A and B are shown apart, each in its own frame.
Chain A
Amino acid sequence: MSLAKSYCVSLLGLAGTLIEIEAEISSNLPSFVLVGLPDASLSEAKDRVRAAAHNSGLPLPGRRVTVNLSPASVPKRGSAFDLAIAIGIMAANGRVRPESVSEWIHIGELGLDGAVRGVPGVLPSVLAAKRAGWLKAIVPIANLAEACLVDGVEVLGAETLAQVAHFHGAENPASDLQAFNGSEVSAEPVSQVNLDLADVIGQDEAVEALTLAAAGGHHMLMVGPPGAGKTMLAERLPSILPDLSVEAAIETTALHSISGSKVHEVSGALLTRPPYEAPHHTASMVSLVGGGLGMPKPGLISLANHGVLFLDEAPEFQRPVLEAMRQPLESGEVLINRSAGIARFPARFQLLMAANPCPCGNFAGKGRACVCAPAARLAYLGKLSGPLLDRIDIRLRLQPANSAQIALARLGATQLGRTSAEIRARVEAARKSSSRRLAGTPWTINAQVPGAYLRRQLKAKAGVTAALDNAVDRGLISMRGYDRCLRLAWTSADLDGRSQLVAEDIAKAVLLRGGDGVTSW
C-alpha cells in the first residue's frame, strides 16, 4: 500500500476542524513534500518527522513522500500534526496497519529522538474530534489527563513514536501506550493560596458589596486611598464564588489549554474553581483581549472566563485597553478577526476594578492630605469612561480601617459570619434562588438580566421603589441606572431569601450603585 490516511485536529479559537492527512509514497527520488496550507512551524514538521522516524528505528522510505493536509483551505499551524504525519507515512509504507491508524485521532509534537511531546489545546481538540464523531484519540502523555476530561472518548497517552507504531502493528520493540489511571493528577485541585475574607479588618460595607457582587455576578469598582484594603478584598472574591459547573469548567479549562497557561500546565486537570487573573496595568491590548501573530490566542479576559478579572490601579491602564473590554463585557465572548480566520473565545468574566481617588491617592474622606489640583482629580477617574462605568453595577468608596475596628477585630467581635466559607454558602443559596426565579429565561444570574424584563417582573407594592424614583426625579440616576439598581436590588433580595423586593433592597442598591458619573460621588 502506498497511500494511507491519518487524522488530526486544527484549532481556530475553541472550534476545531478535523484534518485528514493523506500520505503517499511514490517511486521517485527521495524527497518530502508537504502541501495543504501549512504555516512555517508546520513545514518544519518534515525535518522533525524524518529524524524522529529514523531514531525510532523506523526510517522513512527512500522514496518521494507526499503529505497532503485536507481540507486545504483551512489554515494549519503548529507542531501538533507531527505524530499524525509520521504515523500516516508509516501506514503508507506498510510498516503499520493502515486500517488501525485511520481509526484514531493522533495529536502530538515529535522530538528528533522520537519522543512525543505535549502541545497546547489538546482538550478542545479532543472535544472537536468527539463532535465530529471520533471516539478514539492518541495524545502525548503530558496531555493525557486533560484529554481524559472528555466523556466518552477512548484516550491513550504516548511517550514515543515507537510506542504508537508498535500499537498499530509495527514489529518493533516498544512498550504499550498508557491509558489514564488518574494517578498523575492529585484529586485535590491546585487552589490558590488560602485567602479568607476573615483576614480583612472592618470594611463591613465592602464585604457586603463583595457578597452582592459574587451572588449576582455584578461588576464592581472600588475607589479608596492606598492601604484601604482594595487589593486584599479583590483577591478574596474567588474564595466566595461557587464552584464552576461542569460545562463552565470544561470551557474554561479548554481556554487555559489553548493558551498553555501555567495554572493548567501544573495541574493538567479540570479547573473546578473560578479562575482569578490580575494583570499589571502595563498590560497590552492583545494580552488582555486575545490575539497575537497568526493563530489567535485567548487573552486574560478569556482565561478569567467564569471567574474574576481584577484590574488594580484601573485608571493607569491604557485607555484603548480598557475600552476594548466593553464589547466582551456585554456579549460574554470576544471575536478576534485575523487573516487566518475568526476566532471566538468565551469571555464571561466578572470585572473587578480598583482605583485611587486621585493621583496622589489621599483624596479620601475629607481629603485634607490631598495635594492634587481639582482638575487633576477629575481627569484621573475620568480615564474610566462613561460607557465602561455604565457596565459596572457596584461602585464602592472605601475608607481605611480605623483604630476602633482594629481593636474590635482583635477581640474577634465583628468577624462573626465573615469567613469565606460562610459567605460562599450564602452566595450559593442566593444563586440557587435567582436561577429558580429566572427559570425559563436564558439568564441564570442577575447581572445578565436586561432592565425591561426586570421592570415587567416588578410587582412590588407602591412605595418600595420610592428611593429609586426619588433619585430619578432629582436627576441623580438615569433610566439605565434605574435598571442597574433594580438588578442589584434583586440580588440583595436573593441573598436574604426573599421572593419580592423590599425598600431596604432598593436603598442598598441605590447606595452601592451611586450616581451615573464618577464625579457625582
Chain B
Amino acid sequence: MNLRQNLGRYGEDRAAIYLQDRGYVIIDRNWRSRSGEIDLVARDRDRLVFVEVKTRNGSGYGHPFESITKDKVARMRRLVADWCQAKEVSGVKVRLDAISVLISGGRVSIEHLKQVF
C-alpha cells in the first residue's frame, strides 16, 4: 500500500466513524465492480446511502468536492444499480452522498453533502 492509498483508507475510516456516530449502519465498504468502486454503503433508517469519500491533505488542489465531476456522479449512479443487482436488493429508497475529509495542520475536518444525485 502506498501513501496515497493509505490516506484514502484513513479518510474512509474517518467517514465510516462519522456516519456511525450519526446512527448510520455501515453495510458494505469498498465494493468493486467492472465500472468502479463504491467507498461506503450505509443504511439510514429506511434508506440505503451510497457514499463517495474524498480525502485531501491540505487544500492546495482546491476543495475535495471540486474533484467530484459530473462524470463521476454518473458513474456512481451506474454503480448503485450494479450493487443492487449483485446484492439482489430491490424496491428500496436510495441516496447518493459525498463526504470530504480534509486534513490540514494535524486537524481533520469532515463535511457531509446529502443527496448529491
A29, B114: Cβ atoms under 8 Å?
no
Q: How many residues of A contact B (CB 8 A)?
A: 8
Chain B residue at minimal CB-CB distance from A60: B63
Q: Which residues of A contact B113 (CB under 8 A)?
A: 27-29, 63
Q: What's the tally of chain B residues with a CB closer than 8 Å to chain A?
A: 14
**A62 touches B (CB below 8 Å):** yes
What is the chain A residue whose CB lies nearest that of B72? A29
The yes or no answer to B15 lying at the interface (CB within 8 A) is no
Q: Is the CB of A30 within 8 A of B98?
A: no
Contact partner, B114, options A27, A30, A61, A63, Cβ 8 Å: A27
Question: Which one of A28, A59, A62 contacts B116 once the chains associate, using CB atoms below 8 Å?
Answer: A28
Residues 6 to 57 of chain A near chain B (Cβ within 8 Å): 27-30
CB distance from B111 to the nearest CB of A (A): 8
Which of B66, B73, B114 touches A62 (beta carbons < 8 Å)? Answer: B66
Q: Could you tell me the dominant secondary structure of chain A's interface residues?
A: loop
What separation, in Å, do the CA atoms of A323 and B100 have in the docked complex? Answer: 67
Task: Determine whether the beta carbon of B116 is less than 8 Å from that of A29.
Answer: yes
| A31 smallest CB distance to B (angstroms) | 9
Interface mask (B104-117 → A, CB under 8 Å = 1, otherwise 0): 00000001011110
Nearest-CB distance from B68 to chain A (Å)? 5
Q: C-beta contact mask, A146-163 vs B, less than 8 Å → 1, else 0?
A: 000000000000000000
Task: Please tell me if the beta carbons of B100 and A62 are within 8 angstroms of each other in the complex.
Answer: yes
Contacts of B64 in A (CB 8 A): 62
B83 in the interface, Cβ–Cβ < 8 Å?
Answer: no
Query: Chain B nearest CB: distance from A163 CB in Å?
Result: 24
Closest to A62 in B: B63
B62: chain A residues within 8 A (beta carbon): 62
Rounded to whole angstroms, the CA-CA distance of A242 and B86 in the bound complex is 89
Complex Cα distance A28/B98, Å? 9
The verdict on B65 contacting chain A, using a C-beta distance below 8 Å, is: yes
Within 8 A of A (CB), among B64-109: 64-66, 68, 73, 98, 100
8 Å CB contact of B73 from A29, A61, A63: A29
Residues of B contacting A63 in the complex (Cβ-Cβ under 8 angstroms): 65, 113
Interface contact B116-A30, CB-CB below 8 Å: no
Residues of A near any B CB (own CB < 8 A) = 27-30, 59, 61-63
Jot down 6 A-B pairs with beta carbons below 8 A, ordered by A: A29-B113, A59-B63, A62-B62, A62-B66, A63-B65, A63-B113
Q: A29-B98, A29-B116, A30-B66 are in contact. List 19 more A-B contacts (CB 8 A).
A: A27-B113, A27-B114, A28-B113, A28-B115, A28-B116, A29-B65, A29-B68, A29-B73, A30-B63, A30-B65, A30-B68, A59-B63, A61-B63, A62-B63, A62-B66, A62-B100, A62-B111, A63-B65, A63-B113
- 8 tightest A-B contacts by CB? A62-B63, A62-B65, A30-B66, A30-B65, A29-B116, A29-B68, A27-B113, A29-B65
